[in-house]
Amino acid sequence: MRRNIQTMQSRVASLGARLRPHVKTAKCIPIARMQQAAGAAGITVSTLKEAEQFFDAGFDDILYAVCVTPNKLDTVLDLLRRGCRLKVVVDSVTGAQAVARKSQAAGIAIPTVIEIDTDGHRAGVKPEAEVLIDIGRALHDGGAQLYGVMTHAGASYAENTTAGLQRIAEQERSLCVRAAERLRAAGLPCPEVSVGSTPTALSARSLEGVTEVRAGVYVFHDLVMCNVGVCTPQDVALSVLATVIGHHVEKGWVLVDAGWMAMSRDRGTQAQAVDWGYGAVCQVDGSLMPDWLMSGANQEHGIVSRRDGAIPGDLAQVFPIGSQLRLLPNHACATAAQFSDYRVLGPDAEPRTWERFNGW
């Protein structure tokens, strides 16, 4: 994890941008502090609970990167009044008007970022859309603080070549910068240009015009990121320690006490080049057993079997009851969310526990 943090920080800094890590992956104060110590500037959150928890822990520069709704603006105002430099996001005139009205009513110009759609993946307005300027005006003229534009190239998860990743990264950069330029050309302020996803952040060749990069899952990495091509299994810093509870010898199944409750139901590698089922299998020391995978999952039962479907005769000897395995996750954000704390293996080999939180 330390190496992952350092790699991302160096990369973004070398391209001249600030890094604003997305803390939704780990939801863990000590981990965010390590990111901050490495040079991160502010954090990104996916819920207002994250904003509250991290602000209470001393993080005061926070971007809440999911479009805000009217029923959440009282919590936003509360955080702003307490000194949090919170930024919210909108992608519609309706949303902008709600923020502007709340700003006026409260006498606090809520810092607001406009979400730009650079790949048709999810939310945001197209950089060339007329409504972009309308949203900017609704914010700026309505009493909110137009803080900038942001985008997330979710489509990068579908790439798995350097050329493809570089293309999406450049598309993300250039279209978000274009949106900022259009706002500025209309006489509106747009100081911040925020882009990011782990795949594009690790692939971009230029961040010209970009002020900050957001990325989250890189802190742990996972099997989906391995398939995308931005890490290897050796970089994956999150695993689930499971114990063998039995065997189904005729089927070649090793049963372990980690099911989907531990791994999550995320099957993110299903449509990728290498399908890892519910997870990759390692020995306790982290050595990958590439011929094996977690092929099935019930709530508290996992099924480990060979990728090629072969049925070894010595299953119960190789994986005796009570022995342990380390399982790597498809999607670190989803697997981590199944736990309330991390057992941390530090350089001194002294295990310790770091809390995380969940919920809203």
Q: Which residues contact 341 (CB under 8 A, 6 or more apart)?
A: 353, 354, 355, 356
> Does the footprint of a copy of itself cover residue 338 (CB under 8 A)?
yes
> Does the footprint of a copy of itself cover residue 82 (CB under 8 A)?
no
Q: Which is nearer to a copy of itself, 287 or 298 (CB)?
A: 298
> Does the footprint of a copy of itself cover residue 353 (CB under 8 A)?
no
Q: Which of 6, 10, 162, 298 binds a copy of itself (CB under 8 A)?
A: 298
Per-residue burial over 194-209, b if 16 or more Cβ lie within 10 Å, else e, is bbbbbbbbbbbeebeb
Q: Which is nearer to a copy of itself, 60 or 257 (CB)?
A: 257
Footprint of a copy of itself on 16-75 (CB under 8 A):
24, 46-47, 66-71
Retrieve residue 298's tokens: 């019930």
Q: Which residues contact 340 (CB under 8 A, 6 or more apart)?
A: 355, 356, 357, 358
Q: Are 177 and 209 in contact (CB under 8 A)?
A: yes
In order, the DSSP letters of 39-73 are T--SEEESSHHHHHHHHHTT--EEEE-S---GGGH
Helix axes 93-106, 73-81, angle to 10 degrees: 40
Q: Which of 3, 82, 122, 205 binds a copy of itself (CB under 8 A)?
A: 122
Per-residue DSSP letter, 125: B
Gyration radius (Cα) of the chain, Å: 22
Q: Which of 163, 299, 308, 353 binds a copy of itself (CB under 8 A)?
A: 299
> Does the footprint of a copy of itself cover residue 333 (CB under 8 A)?
yes
Q: Which of 8, 28, 88, 98 binds a copy of itself (CB under 8 A)?
A: 98
Residue type, 334: A
Q: Which is nearer to a copy of itself, 146 or 258 (CB)?
A: 258
Footprint of a copy of itself on 212-251 (CB under 8 A):
243-248, 251
Footprint of a copy of itself on 265-294 (CB under 8 A):
265-267
Footprint of a copy of itself on 99-118 (CB under 8 A):
117
Binding piece for a copy of itself, criterion CB under 8 A, among 34-42, 224-232, 255-263, 344-352 = 255-263
Footprint of a copy of itself on 140-169 (CB under 8 A):
154
In order, the DSSP letters of 177-243 are HHHHHHHHHTT----EEEE--HHHHTT-S--TT--EE---GGGT--HHHHHHTS--GGG----EEEE
**Contacting positions for a copy of itself (CB under 8 A):** 24, 46-47, 66-71, 91-92, 94-95, 98, 117, 120, 122-123, 154, 243-248, 251, 255, 257, 260-262, 264-267, 298-301, 303, 316, 320-322, 331, 333-334, 337-340, 358-360
